[in-house]
Copies of this chain bind each other. A is one copy, B any other.
Amino acid sequence: MKRIFEIDPWKVETHQFNKEDKRLQESMTAIGNDYMGMRGNFEEGYSGDSLQGTYLAGVWFPDKTVVGWWKNGYPKYFGKTPNSPSFLGIGITINGEKLDLAKVKFSDFDLSLDMHQGLLSRSFIYEGKDVKVKFEFERFLHIVQKEAALIRVKMTVLEGKAKIDFDSTLDGTVVNEDSNYDERFWVPMNEDKEARTIQVKTRPNPYEVPQFTVLEKASLRHDGQVITGEVTTEDAKLDEKFSIELNEGETYDLEKDVIVVTSRDVKDEDQLAVANSLMEKLQAKSFEENLADHTAVWQKRWEMSDVEIAGDDAAQQGIRFNILQLFMTYYGEDERLNVGPKGFTGEKYGGATYWDTEAYIVPMYLGITSPSVTKALLQYRHDQLPGAYHNAKEQGLPGALFPMVTFNGIECHNEWEITFEEIHRNADIPHAIAMYTGYTGDDSYVKNEGMDVLVGTARFWAARVHWSKWRNKYVMHGVTGPNEYENNVNNNWFTNTMARWLLRYTLERLPLATKEAQERVNVSEEEKAKWQDIVDKMYLPEDKDLGIFLQQDDFLDKDIRPVSSIEDQRPINQHWSWDKILRSPFIKQADVLQGIYFLNDEYTKEQKEKNFDFYEPLTVHESSLSPCIHSILAAELGKQEKAVELYQRTARLDLDNYNNDTVDGLHITSMSGSWLAIVQGFAGMRYDHDQLKFNPFVPEGWDHYGFKINYRGRLIEVYVDHEGTKITLLKGDDLEVVVKDKKLELKEGETKNA
């Protein structure tokens, strides 16, 4: 654990600047607007260790995959989000000394992310020879006009005289740290001195992945008026330079307005004109006016989603930081997009889509955004069904196999133990259809497009299992479960369970589907019989003596011992070889428990308890997706202290750098875990069988907490304190809610206590 920002309910702020924490600081101060995002790099540049990163949603590059010995079915490329042309740069030189916090003397450092509105501010006093200048930077990515970034710097001379040279840049010569051979992913197209634009294109590739183009335009304003400097260009680069002189006490402000358009929305040849017009629109308003528009939208988002925690500012800060970062990454406004595990905050996992979305994002977004947002996420997968069929075919199997990692539906990761084997995703992804249907009560999707997804994946599963004469059961070999610290195991309980669930759910829902959907999927009686046979005879490993499900066939053959025996060697993924990890009993993230979480109402309390008590002590939680699931189950089982401990870990995973890897970027997709831990864990929300239920408690040390949810067209407020629970139906039709087994009849505007 490492905490470099201060505790505050609405701010992420620090007064420290340690060079060794620069990357961590950059991750934590990343901002985004669902369209683009950037790490907390410094406008004036920084010559020390740093990960420079600007990312554009939906823009990606297929980087060649190199494998020792190629085998059939291996993906040909590893899809990556290219580090995009940087528009942040405002080089500053004071009396000949380049402003560079790695080198110059400075004081009074402050860096602060305002979580109300995603506004990043930074200030410090530069202490040069015979001169002191206070610098105040602000920046935000416009949530209304998504193509716009606004950056402002104010400087005040506190002592002496300052000649200040500015060099505002657009820079397309950036590279990815995770490129295989330090290649550039971008090739220059053109630079326009007059328009202040650069345009670049992703390198050609042999994989039929479209090349993306990006045009960036910058314009400077001082005191609200456009100003111009001297422009020079080179390939994929533009510099605009000018100088000022300030006397002691004088102040100067400089605003850099940026427009970014890409070939996702605008044809190459139209990008310049569109950028010009967008800039005109942007500059029709002042920085403050634009910020006000931006803040108003954030205000609305918070009204629907804020979680209030009284009595524990660290917990409060954690949940707000997570909601902010999630919403800066994705708010469902572009149905071509999805949620990458690191959002716009780093290169790792490359902005691609994982099963994280369905497993962790969907249940939260169902609660705090409109159902259309979740439906967009479901539709995203439906749109990618052709890719899923392609993936299954590559493995020599029928049906549809959703990818582990993708931008377009085609698998784009290159490790076979993940790509070929971590196939549980192919049930987890369709499981979101069941969650959507169960939560919203809207069965129009499952009856129609949803059926294409269910039947496609059912056909895959029916072929992926095989009949074991030895066991007299259907078995499934060669999989990797959610616990990626075991690879290529046989009969992973979670995978077998979810595959069986998928087949059963598909069989249940198929007769209810629309006629068109039924004709489209065209399932034969023979197929149905086969699926039912698999449902009836699927092998699910368990140990009856211990009363637990077995993570996989050989799990008990391991050297079982608790995580407490290796405390000094954690995180094991940074201390141990991969070989040692694979053979160990230690679990990266919930696996059996993930299944119990997903299919919660199928298991008895005793089953939940025995499995939790067996597996939790073996779990190192080195996936950010793990603590929240454990927290929720712990809460359900009355293990409140454990639930709170694991909530802390999920809520402040990045703020406290629990897994010592936040330098690479934030764990965006797991950020929903803190919301789930509060709502499904502490408040015990369930929505089984068309019945909304709560079973709340207040964590020790908290005074109260409250949140709102959307449920079937209603807006409901839940407030929990030590006296009990208050439920208010803020908006919508009458509803029966169960709180701690007590039925409450809610009417609009009414609050009920329990």
Question: Would B553 and A553 count as touching, CB distance under 8 A?
Answer: yes
* B560 in contact with A415 (CB, 8 Å): no
> Within the complex, which residue of B394, B554, B574, B578 is in contact with A477, where a contact is CB–CB below 8 Å?
B554
Q: Which residues of A contact B (CB under 8 A)?
A: 64-69, 71-74, 78, 180-181, 394-397, 413-418, 420-421, 466-471, 475, 477-478, 487-488, 490-491, 553-554, 556-560, 573-583
Q: Are B71 and A578 in contact (CB under 8 A)?
A: yes
Task: Give the Cβ gap from A391 to chain B, nearest Cβ, in Å.
Answer: 11
Residue of B nearest to A75 (CB): B68
Instruction: Report the minimal beta-carbon distance from A544 to chain B, rounded to whole angstroms.
Output: 14
Q: Which residues of B contact A475 (CB under 8 A)?
A: 557
Partner pick for A578 among B64, B420, B575, CB 8 A cutoff: B420
Contact across chains for B553 and A554 when beta carbons are under 8 A apart: yes
Closest chain B CB from A329 CB (angstroms):
21
- The list of the 6 closest CB pairs from A to B, nearest first, reads A73-B577, A71-B578, A420-B579, A66-B66, A488-B488, A470-B556
| Residues on B with beta carbons closer than 8 Å to the beta carbon of A416 | 578-579
* Contact with A478, one of B65, B73, B477, B582 (Cβ below 8 angstroms): B582
Structural contact, A395 and B72, CB atoms closer than 8 A? no
With a cutoff of 8 Å between Cβ atoms, the chain B residues found around residue A576 in the complex are 72, 396
| Complexed CA–CA distance, A466 and B397 (Å) | 37
- Which partner residue on chain B sits nearest A183 by CB separation? B181
Smallest beta-carbon distance A423→chain B, Å: 9
Known: A487-B488, A554-B490, A557-B475. A578 touches B74 (CB 8 A): yes
- Among B468, B477, B575, B579, the residue within 8 A (CB) of A395 is B579
Q: When the two chains form their complex, are residues B73 and A421 in contact, meaning their CB atoms are under 8 A apart?
A: no
Q: Is the CB of B573 within 8 A of A71?
A: yes
Complex-state Cα separation, A621 to B421, whole angstroms: 25
Q: Pick the contact of A396 from B467, B478, B577 — CB < 8 Å?
A: B577
CA distance A524 to B488 in the complex (A): 38
> What are 28 sample pairs from A and B whose C-beta atoms fall under 8 A apart?
A65-B66, A65-B68, A66-B180, A67-B415, A68-B413, A71-B573, A72-B573, A72-B577, A72-B578, A73-B580, A180-B180, A395-B577, A395-B580, A396-B579, A397-B580, A416-B578, A417-B488, A466-B559, A466-B583, A468-B557, A468-B559, A470-B556, A470-B557, A477-B557, A478-B579, A487-B488, A490-B554, A554-B554
Tell me the complex Cα distance, A394–B156, Å: 55
CA of A607 to CA of B181, assembled, Å: 53
